[in-house]
Amino acid sequence: MKTYLTVASFALAAAFAFPACAQAQQKVVPAQSEIAFTSKQMGVPVDGKFRKFDAQVAFDPKKPEAAKIGFTIDLASVSLGTAETEAEVAKPDWFNTKSFPQATFQSTTVKATGPGKFDVAGKLAIKGASHDVVVPVVLAQAGGNTTATGSFVIKRLDFKIGDGDWKDTSMVANDVTVKFKLALTGVGAL
């Protein structure tokens, strides 16, 4: 079993915590969006991403407190560069995709922190474990699209990612950095 699976688990957690912003019911542009993650195995960074995810966003930048943001990630869509590693990550010690095919995020509050900047708080659920997370998001607008970007750190063991022998954080670090870029249509002016 390769340690790359741990990275995939981190990516999944990250993807679920990733918020998208928009109020009337905005749409994600998948070809211009990405949910990625980085973990460390024996001190070496390992990068991955999720190929399939969806967001339900209702967000008005002038009334962020009324926002509703939901995210769903297909855990089996993890991309780590090798089929062997991706097959390993699907197993029970990692994502256990047969029993837990999706990771989810549901916002509870959205708060403006500066021009085009927001903290999105909510529940991230992965592999049957649910934890509160706060995701800082920066919005930028160009043409008719809005791009939401940010990153945050999760603890993989909080979500039972890397059970059994993989709990040893000297092999695979507990911290996983989740990074996202979401292209959205339908967001009002900032």
pLDDT of residue 2: 41
Summarize pLDDT for 27-53 with one digit per residue, the tens.
889 899 999 999 999 999 999 999 999
180: left (phi over 0), alpha (psi -120 to 50) or beta: beta
Percent of the chain scoring above 70 in pLDDT: 87
90: left (phi over 0), alpha (psi -120 to 50) or beta: alpha
Give the C-alpha separation, 135 to 133, whole Å: 6
Q: Tell me which range, 1-15, 119-133, 141-155, is most confidently predicted by mean pLDDT.
A: 119-133
Give the C-alpha separation, 130 to 17, whole Å: 11
Give the C-alpha separation, 18 to 20, whole Å: 7
Phi, psi of 125 (to 5 degrees): -120, 125
Tell me if 95 sits within 8 A of 88, measured CB to CB: no
Under the banding of pLDDT at 50, 70 and 90, the label for residue 24 is low
Closest CA to 26 of 61, 78, 65, 77: 61
* pLDDT score of 110 more than 80: yes
Under the banding of pLDDT at 50, 70 and 90, the label for residue 159 is very high
pLDDT of residue 164: 87
